[in-house]
């Protein structure tokens, strides 16, 4: 397969997080924004040509209060929306098939939440997304291209390491290796097993590398209210403003979406 032609930025909102809620986690909102790699490379702002797919769903269950306060989606608000069904799957599948190939789907914290949750819903209908769909996780990408301290191996979440991490909360502090060295240092290969990290090279990346923090740290502008679409736009804008490093990293660090495990939610 040739070099990636299209980036498909994905975000899903849900009734809760796996392991923190009672019963099955269900999708309440899904957004996909696709842009050609060439447009990411040459654009200074959001590309004029974008392909968008966005729907909200009736989850038929309560949305956790912490989540509904953040995104405004409650069971009452969603009661008149469509269920996540075969028609929705067909729409998602057709949308992806219309894009210039190869397509790489990208989400933030994708391998822990977005990809397994989407795959779980689609698998319930005994269906699948196209076999040639690629994917990667922007939280790994942004860590690798923005971090200020390179470690030779993953570090444990010890008190000593956490204290050291607190001293390095700025993206702009400390010495950095060259962009080329960083990308080569973090090349993980093009398989799910090689790509997915259980431990980061930095301590507590979820705090330092959550999407809104990265966005505020490395780009400009305010996208407004929290939503699946604005989360996709944040990933896209960070990619555009750091296009050379982003493009090279994704080219080296992706895997087939078909390799993502189907896990119960």
The residues spanned by each domain of the chain are 6-142+221-259
- Share of the chain residues as helix, strand and coil, in percent rounded to the nearest 5: 40, 15, 45
Q: Quick one: pLDDT at residue 260?
A: 94
Distance (Å) of CA 180 to CA 26, 143, 177, 187: 40, 15, 8, 11
CB 8, CB 105: distance < 8 Å: yes
Decide if 185 contacts 152 (C-beta within 8 A): no
pLDDT digits (tens, 9 = 90+) for 164-220: 444 444 444 433 444 554 554 455 557 887 787 665 554 554 446 789 888 988 887
11: which DSSP letter?
A: E
Compute the distance between CA of residue 176 and CA of residue 146 in angstroms, rounded to an integer. 9
According to DSSP H, which parts of 147-242 are helical? 159-166, 179-185, 192-195, 205-208, 211-218, 228-241
pTM of the model: 0.82
- The stretches in the chain having pLDDT less than 70 are 1-2, 20-22, 148-189, 197-208
Specify the pLDDT at position 208.
Answer: 65
Position 195 scores a pLDDT of 80
Tell me what pLDDT residue 2 has: 65
Measure the CA–CA gap between 253 and 162, rounded to whole angstroms.
27
What is the pLDDT at residue 217? 85
pLDDT for 150 equals 35
Which CATH architecture does the domain made up of 6-142+221-259 adopt?
Answer: 2-Layer Sandwich (3.30)
Q: Which residues contact 197 (CB under 8 A, 6 or more apart)?
A: 140, 154, 188
Residue 159: per-residue pLDDT: 37
Distance between CA atoms of residues 256 and 135, nearest Å: 6
The two counts, helices (H) then strands (E), for the chain are 13, 6
């Amino acid at each position: 397969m040739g070099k990636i032609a299209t980036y498909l930025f994905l975000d899903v909102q849900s009734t809760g997080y796996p392991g923190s809620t009672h019963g099955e986690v269900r999708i309440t909102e899904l957004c996909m924004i696709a842009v050609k790699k060439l447009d990411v490379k040459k654009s200074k702002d959001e590309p004029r040509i974008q392909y968008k797919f966005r729907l909200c769903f009736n989850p038929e269950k309560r949305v956790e209060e912490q989540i509904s306060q953040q995104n405004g989606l409650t069971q009452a608000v969603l009661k008149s929306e469509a269920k996540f069904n075969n028609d929705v799957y067909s729409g998602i599948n057709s949308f992806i098939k219309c894009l210039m190939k190869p397509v790489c789907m990208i989400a933030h914290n994708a391998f822990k939440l977005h990809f397994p949750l989407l795959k779980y819903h689609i698998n319930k209908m005994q269906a699948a997304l196209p076999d040639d769909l690629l994917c990667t996780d922007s939280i790994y990408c942004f860590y690798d291209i923005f971090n200020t301290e390179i470690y030779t191996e993953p570090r444990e979440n010890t008190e000593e390491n956490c204290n050291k991490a607190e001293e390095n909360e700025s993206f702009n502090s400390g010495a950095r290796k060259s962009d080329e060295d960083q990308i080569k240092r973090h090349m993980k290969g093009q398989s799910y097993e090689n790509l997915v990290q259980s431990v980061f090279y930095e301590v507590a990346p979820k705090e330092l590398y959550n999407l809104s923090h990265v966005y505020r740290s490395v780009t400009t502008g305010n996208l407004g209210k929290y939503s699946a679409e604005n989360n996709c736009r944040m990933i896209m804008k960070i990619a555009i403003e750091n296009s050379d490093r982003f493009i090279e990293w994704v080219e080296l660090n992706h895997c087939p979406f078909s390799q993502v495990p189907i896990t119960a939610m």
